[in-house]
């Protein structure tokens, strides 16, 4: 465990709470209040997915000192990005939650960092979070691709049914030679 990981581990719960609050602030105030108040995972699946993903990200940041890899972090980030990819966000807004982790870490760790001159450790953590942002962008693109493909398939199915009902399409037997 690196020194920055040790510092992060000490304040992990505080950072998680602050990160969750900052992320909820990207939503309408009434939505944020509802998601924060409702603790039941079945009544509030979005907040549950966010907390699960965020906890996983922080656990991995604490447990590994290496540059983040998609294989390790993607399952945790996917919990959050998948939800935000289908919401009414621009791509930048959808993945901005990961940068809010930087702000949460600074908010919670600043006193310790500034008093003990641990700026290098904070910069190291922020660099690792920057790598996570790139992983988030990849996940977002995959989610949007899948969403667009589903929409294309749905439109193709609808038009095919309409054409068949209108009698404008006939079935072609592949074994019959074309005339």
> Quick check: 179 pLDDT over 50?
no
Query: Which residue has tokens 């930048």?
Result: 92
48 part of a folded domain = yes
At 126-147, the pLDDT tens digits run: 999 999 999 999 999 999 898 8
Average pLDDT over residues 33-57: 90
Domain enclosing residue 19, as ranges: 3-142
pTM, 2 dp: 0.81
- Which helix or strand (DSSP H or E) is residue 121 part of? helix 119-165
φ and ψ at residue 156, rounded to 5 degrees: -60, -45
33 part of a folded domain = yes
Nearest to 128 by CA among 20, 15, 4: 4
Let me know if 24 is exposed, middle or buried by CB neighbors in 10 A (0-12, 13-18, 19+): buried
> Quick check: 3 pLDDT over 70?
no
14 part of a folded domain = yes
175 part of a folded domain = no
132 part of a folded domain = yes
> For residues 70-82, b (16+ Cβ closer than 10 Å) or e, as one string?
eebbbebbbbbbb
Query: Which residue has tokens 């939505």?
Result: 31
Instruction: Give the C-alpha separation, 122 to 106, whole Å.
Output: 8
Q: Please report, to the nearest 10 degrees, the dihedral formed by the alpha carbons of residues 46, 49, 55, 58 taken in order.
A: -90
pLDDT of residue 175: 77
Average pLDDT over residues 62-77: 90
At 94-105, the pLDDT tens digits run: 999 999 999 999
Nearest to 51 by CA among 110, 10, 97, 90: 97
At 146-176, the pLDDT tens digits run: 888 988 989 988 888 888 888 877 667 677 7
Nearest to 49 by CA among 86, 96, 81, 17: 81
Instruction: Give the C-alpha separation, 138 to 52, whole Å.
Output: 20
167 part of a folded domain = no
31 part of a folded domain = yes
Instruction: Give the C-alpha separation, 110 to 44, whole Å.
Output: 32
170 part of a folded domain = no
- Mean pLDDT, rounded, of the chain: 89
Quickly list DSSP for 52-115.
HHHHHHHHHHHH--SPP-HHHHHHHHHHHHHHHHTSS--HHHHHTHHHHHHHHHHHHHHHHHHH
Provide the number of structural domains found in the chain.
Answer: 1
């Amino acid at each position: 465990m690196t020194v920055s990981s040790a510092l992060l581990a000490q304040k992990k719960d505080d950072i998680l709470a602050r990160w969750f609050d900052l992320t909820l602030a990207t939503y309408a105030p009434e939505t944020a209040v509802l998601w924060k108040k409702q603790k039941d995972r079945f009544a509030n699946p979005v907040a549950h997915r966010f907390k699960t993903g965020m906890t996983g990200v922080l656990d991995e940041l604490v447990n590994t000192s290496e540059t983040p890899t998609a294989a390790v972090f993607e399952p945790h980030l996917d919990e959050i990005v998948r939800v935000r990819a289908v919401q009414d966000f621009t791509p930048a807004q959808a993945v901005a939650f990961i940068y809010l982790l930087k702000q949460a870490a600074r908010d919670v760790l600043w006193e310790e960092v500034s008093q003990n001159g641990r700026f290098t450790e904070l910069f190291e953590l922020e660099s690792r979070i920057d790598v996570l942002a790139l992983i988030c962008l990849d996940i977002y693109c995959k989610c949007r691709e899948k969403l667009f493909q589903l929409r294309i398939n749905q439109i193709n199915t609808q038009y095919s049914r309409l054409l068949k009902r209108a009698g404008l399409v006939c079935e072609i037997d592949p074994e019959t030679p074309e005339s």
